[in-house]
Structure 1
């Protein structure tokens, strides 16, 4: 349906268009990533170590968990890591490292006036 001014005679067609679009959106939501994570979206400690680019030792990950540097979930005594949270954490960590490495990107530092 083209973007145009809707007249009284166009209302039935416009409603049909909106209903069709709403049904399409509902179907997309039903089949999209808004669903609960699958079992495959979770890592145990060993899987996480294999997934991370630096392949850290288990003890390193335990240290990150202890310092609350990495997103994690505890199920009983076992640690579990949600893949989407780890991906976001990796992306955020990369941005922080880039800011630290590039002083021009550091906006919190006060500039000296001459």
Structure 2
């Protein structure tokens, strides 16, 4: 980094402040994601998140189709586990399937 003159101090302070502001926003964003990752939902909250009725969720729980935590008679769901469960049901496109096949065939 080059030395700067006295006249450049305000500009340098502004840049420094902007960078610190950016870092602070990133830290808050990351910590918010971590908090949400461990967020515990009850069945009504899980129902709203998944846009499924409560009886449908009870059915999926009894068939062991959905990740759940049970304490006594109460059911609890971790938000990140439900999101992972939703993503696991993603159907690949024809292009993705073709690319997967090409990777396997080309792989030495």
Scaled by the length of structure 1, the TM-score of the pair is: 0.46
**Which is richer in helix?**
2
Q: Which has the higher contact order (CA 8 A, sep 6+)?
A: 2
Scaled by the length of structure 2, the TM-score of the pair is: 0.48
